Amino acid sequence: MNPNQIIPKTPNTTLSIPPPATIGIIGGGQLGRMLAIEAKKLGYYVRIFDPQRNAPAAQVADEAYIGHFDDLELIQKFAQGCHVITYEFENISTRPLCDLVEKGVRVSPSPDVLAIAQNREKEKNFLKSNGFPCADFLILNNVTELSIAANDFPFPACLKSSEFGYDGKGQVRLEKEFDAVEAWKKMGGKKGILERWIDFSAELSVICARWQDGRTVAFGAIENLHRNHILDTSISPGRFSPEIAQKAENLAIEIAHHLRVVGLLTVEMFLEPSGKLLVNELAPRPHNSGHFTFDACFCSQFEQHIRAICNLPPGSVEQFRPAVMVNLLGDFWHQEKSPNWIELLNEPCLKLHLYGKDQPRTGRKMGHFTILGYNLDHAIKKTNTARKILGLPSIT
């Protein structure tokens, strides 16, 4: 156990929490793992909460609490002795987090921010009511409302579940003619959002960090390529005009201020052919599109999050070289056999990250690699050589 176990009665979020304090991370996936690695590098003591004993983050943390996210008693125990609690994914109930805040535990980003980011209806209403641009949408309470929407909503459209969606799960693209009952069933949620289908010219994300006193730092706009609604590749710097990149950065920072986030906020956006940016999603945590920062930036998104929630000074977001990150999904493990890592590692500027997951299911994020180049063309060329080894189509 860490000897530094002091919990303030009311969370004073302006106090700094220097190492070797204890950081509690709810969620033990790859984001938690990379957060834990960076926290350990800084000398923190790391405690993970996850239902799975051998979760990716539990493998690298000092301690793991194994239990369900709705086990209030265990979450309380877990929080005892943590100087700050954060989370690595949105699909957890805000109730236990609110309880912790009431008891004086510091939780960053706050449960209020999580409540908005984890629910598409709240997220869209937040964006709309604060004048942030997003795709036209309709909130649907039931399948009948979907049938009625078919009359005047513009199609194609995207039907998404209000809650628990990730990596394209709970999403259905709808053409003009569709079977409402079937679509609703496929979407699988209790409530839904019908969203205009965006023929974007690009997808991008901006990851920014905000401190309690309002300071912010942002990584430059990242270009994201998806396959089957799952992130496939991220390119940084994204291939946008300086004006678009700046506009995207400003938009993300403005949203972070509106939400009063303490920690990271990732803003996913669509770029329309007209040059207009539309906000797609918000995530108050490290983001898959920012994995390249681990190897390509002075201070990674994970370290930046730790610095912000512990109120340490911001780190530099400087990127050493152009970078491309490719997700390694379970699809590449044929009959459970790993891809040929040695062949992949023949490229000396390729950094391989495997998350320690044992079941390589289709669509499951098992790892990623990042390639650095002297320029972006060089990085993309080398990426395509690596993609060929995995049987992936080239990117252009």
Ligand X SMILES: Nc1ncnc2c1ncn2[C@@H]1O[C@H](COP(=O)(O)OP(=O)(O)O)[C@@H](O)[C@H]1O
Name the E strands within 132-240. 137-140, 157-161, 171-174, 192-196, 202-210, 216-218, 222-227, 230-236
The token duo for 207 is: 């990851």
Cβ at position 341, least distance to ligand X in Å:
27
Q: What share of the chain is helix, strand, coil (3-state, %, to 5)?
A: 30, 25, 45
Give the residue closest to Mg ion by C-beta: 281
The type of residue at 323 is A
Select the span of 150-158, 180-188, 273-281, 295-303 touching Mg ion (CB under 5 A).
273-281
Q: Which of 101, 269 has the CB closer to Mg ion?
A: 269
CA distances from 124 to 120, 136, 286 (A): 6, 9, 21
Select the span of 185-193, 277-285, 325-333, 370-378 touching Mg ion (CB under 5 A).
277-285
- Binding region for ligand X (CB under 6 A): 135, 158, 165-168, 195, 197-198, 203, 226, 229, 268, 280-281
Asked if 115 contacts 93 with a C-beta cutoff of 8 angstroms, the reply is no
Q: Which does 249 bind (CB under 5 to 8 A by kind): Mg ion, ligand X, none?
A: none
- To the nearest 10°, the Cα dihedral for 287, 288, 290, 291? 130
Q: Which does 75 bind (CB under 5 to 8 A by kind): ligand X, Mg ion, none?
A: none
Q: Which does 198 bind (CB under 5 to 8 A by kind): Mg ion, ligand X, none?
A: ligand X
Q: Which does 226 bind (CB under 5 to 8 A by kind): ligand X, Mg ion, none?
A: ligand X
Q: Which residues contact 96 (CB under 8 A, 6 or more apart)?
A: 69, 70, 72, 75, 76
Q: Which does 185 bind (CB under 5 to 8 A by kind): ligand X, Mg ion, none?
A: none
Q: Which of 165, 238 has the CB closer to ligand X?
A: 165
Give yes or no for residue 281 binding Mg ion (CB under 5 A). yes
Q: Which of 84, 264 has the CB closer to Mg ion?
A: 264
Asked if 217 contacts 313 with a C-beta cutoff of 8 angstroms, the reply is no
Burial label, 286 (beta-carbon count in 10 A; 0-12, 13-18, 19+): buried
Q: Which does 167 bind (CB under 5 to 8 A by kind): Mg ion, ligand X, none?
A: ligand X
CA distances from 55 to 29, 40, 97 (A): 6, 17, 21
Cβ at position 193, least distance to ligand X in Å:
9
Q: How far apart are CA 203 and CA 205, in angstroms?
A: 7
Q: Which of 279, 299 has the CB closer to ligand X?
A: 279
Cβ at position 169, least distance to ligand X in Å:
6
Could you give the angle at which helices 301-309 and 30-41 cross, rounded to 10 degrees?
70
Q: Which of 47, 291 has the CB closer to Mg ion?
A: 291
Cβ at position 337, least distance to ligand X in Å:
28
Interface residues with Mg ion (CB under 5 A) are: 268, 281
